[in-house]
A and B are shown apart, each in its own frame.
Chain A
Amino acid sequence: MGVKETAEAVARRSYGKLIAIIAARTRDVAGAEDALSEAFAAALMDWPQSGVPRSPEAWLLTVARRKLIDAARRRRAGEEAIPTLELLADEFDQSNDAAIPDERLRLMFACAHPAIDAGVRAPLILQTVLGFDAAAIASAFLVAPSTMGQRLVRAKNRIREAGIPFRVPERDELAERLEAVLEAIYAIYAEGWSDPAGTQARSRGLAQEGIWLGRLVVSLLPEEPEALGLLALMLHTEARREARRDAQGEFVPLNAQQPAQWDSALIDEAEAILFNASRMGALGRFQLEAAVQSAHAARRLNGGTDWAAIVQLYDAQFALTGSVVVAVNRAVARAELSTGSRGAAEGLAALDALTDAALAQYQPYWAARAALLARTGDGQAAADAYRRAIGLESDPAVRRFLQAELSRQ
């Protein structure tokens, strides 16, 4: 491996770790990012001559720390941070990577703090823990790059000014605070999942990054059932990535997928993790969502789907979250409890009971409605609902699938 590749590999593996170490002490995330990028630039200059140091992380941390102290002196404004930064040198053995602790979890808790806007938590974690730039994050989350840049800057200012702590919360508030971290990770995963064809390497990458973050949280908090639940959920979902498209790249809905095309190793891992979580005796929304996916995955074993169990899992999820998304999913599951138009009518009744204004723009609601109306034989109403779903869809393959369904009405 060349020096550049080594530096990049270290950057990838260590970026968030080093940001976490520095920012936890200065509370200045932007300053930590600047100093670290200067340190990486210095590494690219120095390492080709002197060779890659034995402890590259410690090397980078030392250089970044020095850059920060220089910057604080120059600005004078940041001088109060200097003693802290000087202490950093004594805190760890600067020649040994193994002595550098992993404080990324603290960083994630700061990024997903209640004082930070919920919408910017996932982008902030992508940037600080994984080093994604604002432009890449903006595309993934469908936000203008300049807007995303401003939001990230504002959030970092808030961390500094509001005195947001870099720590793992105490037991009594851990579950609630962890949920925000897990939600942010799931948002990262979901953005990657929304590119099912995997045509955009960047979004497929996001799904992988989400899973990676999920694994990181599990490794640092192995006793948290919801962290396990989220990881199981992501792995279950990921196991079906390839099966969502046929050889021609056309969309294949879950009920038409061949279980043989699912990734059984991922499903096995997800099942083991979920089982482990369930023994901890604290149910939560991610375990429930993972359990729904587990129930779908069971089709690979017995060819059938236990819709009654799925309805119950959605009932429990709805009781916890009151989410209209869950309510739509539950209505679809209810429709499967009875065959033909009777089941469809039950599902439709459940959909009709929903009044959330956001449904006007929620594609899955209209797609579900269309399929159920088609089952009741009301072709005209089904066609209207299909058209609505088509108009709200942004994935061309799903749009083609819905148009094909529409043409059958």
Chain B
Amino acid sequence: MQFLLLVYQDEKVMHNLPKEEHGRMYAAYMAYADALKKAGVLLANHGLAPTTQAATVRAPGGKQSVVNGPFAETKEQLGAYFLIEVPDQDAALSWAARCPSAQYGAIEVRPVWG
């Protein structure tokens, strides 16, 4: 089964991490992605630029509009994703628990349709 792990964290908190912790976090992320790859479960992953660079498009009734910023103003923002292939939801959750961001934010685990 394929699952999308959506990593949510507070951009401001992440931005303000002490330099040393930030470096450690980055290294842990590299190790995490590498472990996923070597375990043969990783299909795709990316980190996302902060939501200050986001724009949101809507077109209700065909009338289009664009606003700066993310789709929803929330405390935690989508910051990265991992698409993985694992036997079941339990396995997906155990990979989510290993994500370094679980310590700071939340990992939403969503099964992929089809």
A contact residues, total (Cβ < 8 Å)? 17
Task: Given A142-B97, A143-B93, A396-B103, decide whether A360 and B40 contact each other with a Cβ distance below 8 A.
Answer: yes
What are the residues of chain B within 8 A of A396 when measuring CB–CB? 100, 103
Q: Is the CB of A147 within 8 A of B89?
A: yes
Query: How far is it, in angstroms, between the C-alpha of A392 and the C-alpha of B41 when the chains are bound?
Result: 13
Binary CB contact string for chain A from 379 to 409 against chain B (1 if under 8 A, 0 otherwise): 0000000011011111010011001000000
Q: Is the CB of A388 within 8 A of B31?
A: yes
Q: Which residues of A349-384 have CB atoms within 8 Å of chain B's CB atoms?
A: 360-361
Binds A, one of B4-12, B22-30, B44-52, B64-72: B22-30
Quick check: is B35 within 8 A (CB to CB) of the other chain?
yes
**Residue among A142, A147, A387, A388 having the largest count of chain B Cβ atoms under 10 Å:** A387
Binary CB contact string for chain B from 82 to 114 against chain A (1 if under 8 A, 0 otherwise): 000000011001100110101100000100000
Q: Is the CB of A391 within 8 A of B93?
A: no
* Total of A-B residue pairs, C-beta within 8 Å: 53
Query: How far is it, in angstroms, between the C-alpha of A388 and the C-alpha of B32 when the chains are bound?
Result: 8
Task: Return the chain A residue nearest B103 by Cβ.
Answer: A396
Query: How far is it, in angstroms, between the C-alpha of A392 and the C-alpha of B93 when the chains are bound?
Result: 13
Ordered by A's residue number, 24 sampled pairs between the chains whose C-beta atoms are within 8 Å are A142-B90, A142-B97, A144-B89, A144-B93, A360-B39, A360-B40, A361-B35, A387-B35, A388-B31, A388-B38, A390-B31, A390-B32, A391-B28, A391-B31, A391-B32, A391-B34, A391-B35, A391-B98, A394-B97, A394-B98, A394-B102, A396-B100, A403-B24, A403-B28
Binding site for B on A (CB under 8 A): 142-144, 147, 360-361, 387-388, 390-394, 396, 399-400, 403
Q: A361-B35, A387-B35 are in contact. List 7 more A-B contacts (CB 8 A).
A: A142-B93, A360-B40, A387-B34, A388-B31, A390-B28, A391-B33, A403-B28
